[in-house]
Structure 1
Amino acid sequence: MTATVPDTREPRPSAVTPRLAAAAPAHRQARASRVKIWIGAVCTALVVLPVLFARVLPLPDPNAAELSARRLPPLTDGHLLGTDQLGRDLLARVLSGGQVSLTVGVLAVCVSGLIGLVLGSLAGFGGG
């Protein structure tokens, strides 16, 4: 029978330095995905926040026609995007339409999620 001799050598330092680890593809992918998430969140916030706060912003009524202010170009007389052929403020109309679009989108996600939850539960319960 042979006796095993314990290894008394010191462990060698790793050949992977922090600089090499940062250059690894997995690390680059994780960093790139974090950057993409932040860019997407900022872009979404730039679109959603003005729509959510449209009723709080000092904007004219989106349906109020003012024939004396017909077809004004952008950035004139307090109309950031100008006016249409009936003198209605285009920014107020865009934000008002955005509220409707966001409401429809959220409701569609909720209804489809509820339908998927019910059908998935039935399929799981029924075993098929």
Structure 2
Amino acid sequence: MTLPADAVTALATFQEAAGWEQRARLLMQWGDRLPALGDEDKVDANRVHGCESQVWLVGSLQDGHWQFAASSDARLIRGLVALLLARVNGLSASELKQVDLPQWFNQLGLGRQLSPSRSNGLNAVLQRMQELAP
């Protein structure tokens, strides 16, 4: 499966990072670049349940390809969600179902930093994306 352009960029950037501190800084920068969701999108219907932090997710289908937008009240989670969006935006529903979350974060060199609760939260976000894209 071919990676979206943003995912290729993310991989190159994170694989060049020297050590965890640099990756942590990159993670925050990716989160800071995440476009803000409007208050109209930060409603309970868009909230991803299963995350310790608050995460909101909206998705739309454009020419057979999914585009998601998300936000979180936690800066680290925003960064992780931004990297997840880089991996999935532009995929078809069938490609979305094939995304291997642990593999993606391992490729980025972030797998060991994902606590079980963060990992569960990101899985909940991915699961919600897959529910939006039947």
Shared fold, TM over 0.5: no
RCO higher in 1 or 2 (8 Å CA, sep ≥ 6)?
A: 2
Please give the TM-score of this superposition, normalised by the length of structure 1: 0.23
* TM-score w.r.t. length of structure 2: 0.23
When you count strand as a share of all residues, which structure comes out higher?
Answer: 2
User: Which structure is larger by alpha-carbon Rg, 1 or 2?
Assistant: 1
